[in-house]
Amino acid sequence: MEKIGVIGGSGLYKLDGIKTIKEVAVKTPYGDPSDKFIIAELNGREIVFLPRHGRNHSINPSLVNYRANIYAMKKLGVGQIFSISACGSLQAKMKPLDFVVADQFIDRTNSGRANTFFDCGVVAHVALAEPVCPCMAKTLVNAAKKSKVKVHDGGTYINMEGPQFSTKAESNLYRQWGADIIGMTNFSEARLAREAEICYATMAAITDYDCWHPEHDSVTIEMIIGNLHKNVDNAKRVLREALLSAPKERTCSCKDALKFAIVTQPQFIPAETKKKLAPITGKYFK
């Protein structure tokens, strides 16, 4: 049975109430992941937890080594990932302290984040029209409802660069586009998880109204941290329920995302590249 990965965002740096087995450091061809991985066990299933920004929150969103994090998850045998993160709301109906299980993304990063594993002698074009695993998303939504937490089923996530917050002009532009929430991290994870054939879904905890709302104070770090702490307990309850109810066998298309995506013929792919990508593409290049 494949393991379940959890990527914890701001405020979620450890798993409470779940038996920890060990901590492991994982080396990758892309450098070091954000921190050591915590291997835990819940109801007979192994959980692999990683704090996205490090357990001391010392890595800003633009500098998170997303490739190393997802590669290491794959190397550790993870087949499904639940991602937890903080976000701002761009819509009045999505209020601070609500949760959103995003189903679409718009990329507004500009720092040249490394968002693919296929940059070294092999080309692959994975389908990303539906960037979130529907099975994992449904699991999160049901878990939130069972936990009596206000959750929005679906929403478009603007992935801004950061670490600064938005200007009012940007915030209002994104609202005109129809975006629902804004954050700094999740789309890189979703892209890389799809390339690694890992099911991925994210649950975003709303901390503020970004800076567009005329009747609410502009976003401040104090506001975010205050609402973040209020959301952490709810997030942990939902996460535990989701981990207990996650599908044991994958039936979605995520598990075969690379089946028709690799366009470089095997004989032209450098041996070193095949070795580097073995945890991800090994089943296609035996």
SS3 157: strand
Average per-residue pLDDT in the chain? Answer: 93
**If residue 156 lies in a helix (H) or strand (E), which one and from where to where?**
strand 156-160
Q: What is the pLDDT of residue 220?
A: 64
% of residues, the chain, pLDDT over 70: 97
For residue 5, CA distances in Å to 23, 71, 116, 122 come to 14, 12, 19, 27
Pairing of strands 99-101, 199-208: antiparallel
Mention every residue, 6+ apart, whose C-beta is less than 8 A from residue 71. 28, 29, 30, 117, 192, 196, 279, 280
* Cβ(198)–Cβ(79) below 8 Å: yes
Instruction: Please give the average per-residue pLDDT across 156-175, as a whole number.
Output: 96
Catalytic sites, residue numbers: 208, 210
Alpha helices by DSSP H, listed for 56-123, are: 66-75
Q: What is the pLDDT of residue 10?
A: 72
% of residues, the chain, pLDDT over 90: 84
Q: For the chain, which domains are there?
A: 3-284 (3.40.50.1580)
How confident is residue 4, by pLDDT bands cut at 50, 70 and 90? very high
Instruction: Please give the average per-residue pLDDT across 122-136, as a whole number.
Output: 98
* Cβ(76)–Cβ(48) below 8 Å: yes
How confident is residue 286, by pLDDT bands cut at 50, 70 and 90? confident
